[in-house]
Structure 1
Amino acid sequence: MKLYTVGYGGRTPEEFLRLLADGGIRAVVDVRLRPDRSSMATYVKAKDPHKGIEGWLSRAGVQYFSFIELGNLFLEFDHWQSRYRNLMERAGDLLTQRLRKVPPPFCLMCAEKSADRCHRAIIASYLAERGYEAEHLE
């Protein structure tokens, strides 16, 4: 099964939707720890599912899922990558369990534009070791 990852930072909503459409993506899995906070209002998860990112993606024909359990708890730490990788090694099956119900192809989404600097690359790597094919949308 194929999965994608994308970061919205520095992207216009139109550019973001174009990346999703080019990948044939039908579902976005938000892996931010605090999706209710975003410096770019379009990407905030509102209380009302018809507003914010959930409403915006729905109107574009893309399902939205927020899996805060995949958020980066270690972002404020030095060497957060090794800490997050360790978390995935220890509890990855539990943390990624809900992904099995997301219709493919889906895309892991976070704020960081570059996958190399984002925890979603660690999630994608973990899933690739378990049979997924991962591609980062840039």
Structure 2
Amino acid sequence: MKLYTIGGYGHTEDSFIKALKSNDIDLFVDVRQRRGMRGSTYAFLNARKLEENLAQAGISYLHFKDLAPTNEVRSFQKSADSAANSSKRERDKLSPAFIEAYKREILSDKERGEILGRISQYSKVCFFCVEKGHEACHRSVLTDWLEPIAGTATHI
């Protein structure tokens, strides 16, 4: 199995699906807490439309809500973004406080093997959240955490 990550920002509907297909992704794992996007620009990332597009592309879909940061964990990054006078879309890395909180509150009670067991029948698995850059999103912390078992993730 090979792991990948992708963000939604910066993509069009076509470029998003093409990026997945060109990497032969066979499982798409949504790790967002809320599976909706505001506005028309990213409406293709709303759960219903996203699942429809993935099905048409022959890509399986799973939502792992339990891997999304809680509001409490997200508050650490909101504080850091505010202090840096930055927004979610402008951020290029996560704050150390957020990373620590995400690992402690979300990953500490999970078993890597259990998560990988849920996806092990697929060969190319892509973890998704909205931030464009993987280092600005919890999906990078998640895939780094899975690395000892699954290897380094490719960021598309």
User: Which bracket does the TM-score occupy, shorter chain normalised?
Assistant: 0.7 to 0.9
Paired position in structure 2 for 1:49: none
Q: Of residues 51, 58, 64 in structure 2, which corresponds to 1:54?
A: 51
* Higher mean C-alpha deviation, range 59-68 or range 69-78: 69-78
Alignment of 1:15-94 (within 5 A): 15-35=15-35, 37-39=36-38, 40-46=42-48, 52-73=49-70, 74-77=73-76, 78=79, 79-93=97-111
Higher helix share: 2
1: CA distance between counterparts of 2:152 and 2:2? 5
How far is 1:100 from its partner? 2.1
Q: CA deviation at 1:76?
A: 2.2
Are 2:118 and 1:101 equivalent residues in the alignment? yes
What percentage of residue pairs aligned between the two structures are identical?
A: 28
TM-score (norm: length of structure 2):
0.75
Q: Which amino acid aligns with 1:38?
A: M
The count of corresponding residues between Structure 1 and Structure 2 is: 130
Q: What does the per-residue CA deviation read over 1:46-71, in whole Å, with 9 as the maximum and x for residues that have no partner?
A: 3xxxxx21111101111111110111
> Match of 2:14, as an amino acid?
E
**Is structure 2 residue 135 aligned with structure 1 residue 136?**
no
Paired with 1:135 and 1:41, the residues of 2 have a C-alpha distance of 25
Where does structure 1 differ by over 4 angstroms across 4 or more consecutive aligned residues? none
Does structure 2 conserve the Cα–Cα contact (< 8 Å) formed by 1:88 and 1:123?
no
Greater gyration radius = 2
Q: State the one-letter code of the partner of 1:18.
A: K
The range that moved more, 64-73 or 117-126, is 64-73
Unaligned runs of 5+ in 2: 80-96
What are the ranges of 5 or more consecutive residues in structure 1 without an aligned counterpart?
47-51
